[in-house]
Homo-oligomer: A and B are copies of this chain.
């Protein structure tokens, strides 16, 4: 199965939002309605939907429930994705409280930090643990994902340690481009880039 492109993933999550919030009371929706609200071409919407294996009716469009479930299936919302957050600062504690995570199957198990004032505390109902506990915990419960929200100056060092512990996916919220072995996947989340993109239309 060919990997589905990042752009398609992003559009599918937006269709899903639309079904879940805007059209939750309707039975069906047409490619034109989706296209209109997201400012896309309607045939692009139909292609994306075809990819999810949902069939529409020649009149009356696509069944909302089935489409919503097909997107969840395609993108793996139901698979439980366990993550650790490393760095219990502002961003880390905001993310552990981020309500939408659980809708997508993302489950934050704990936070880690180096600051002894934070260790032992809780954030969003999850424990903040000493960073040096990471190795043992990963060895025990085999966590593959971390969310990296440490200060820039610590980013590479913490990454090296996490990789040594066996982490395979790093969702990088720091502005530092990390050096990692090829087997580790890093996604650089550059939030401000979105803001700049939004203003590019002028």
Contacts and interface: CB of A to CB of B under 8 A. Distances in A.
A80 interface: no
A98 B90 contact: yes
A135 B84 CA distance: 41
Nearest to A91: B94
B17 A104 contact: no
Contacts of A6: 197, 200
Contacts of A97: 90
A13 B93 CA distance: 25
A176 interface: yes
A187 B195 contact: yes
A25 interface: no
A13 to B, nearest CB: 4
Count of this chain's copies in the oligomeric assembly: 2
Given A18-B177, A100-B192, A175-B20, A197 B90 contact: no
A136 interface: no
A75 interface: yes
B197 A9 contact: yes
Nearest to A34: B177
A198 interface: yes
A17 B27 CA distance: 47
B176 A21 contact: yes
A173 to B, nearest CB: 10
Contacts of A26: none
Nearest to A17: B175
Contacts of A10: 190, 193, 197
A187 B199 CA distance: 9
A106 interface: yes
10 contacts: A13-B193, A38-B177, A94-B94, A94-B95, A100-B191, A103-B175, A169-B199, A171-B198, A189-B191, A189-B194
| Closest 4 pairs between A and B when the two form their complex, measured CB to CB | A94-B94, A187-B198, A90-B97, A13-B193
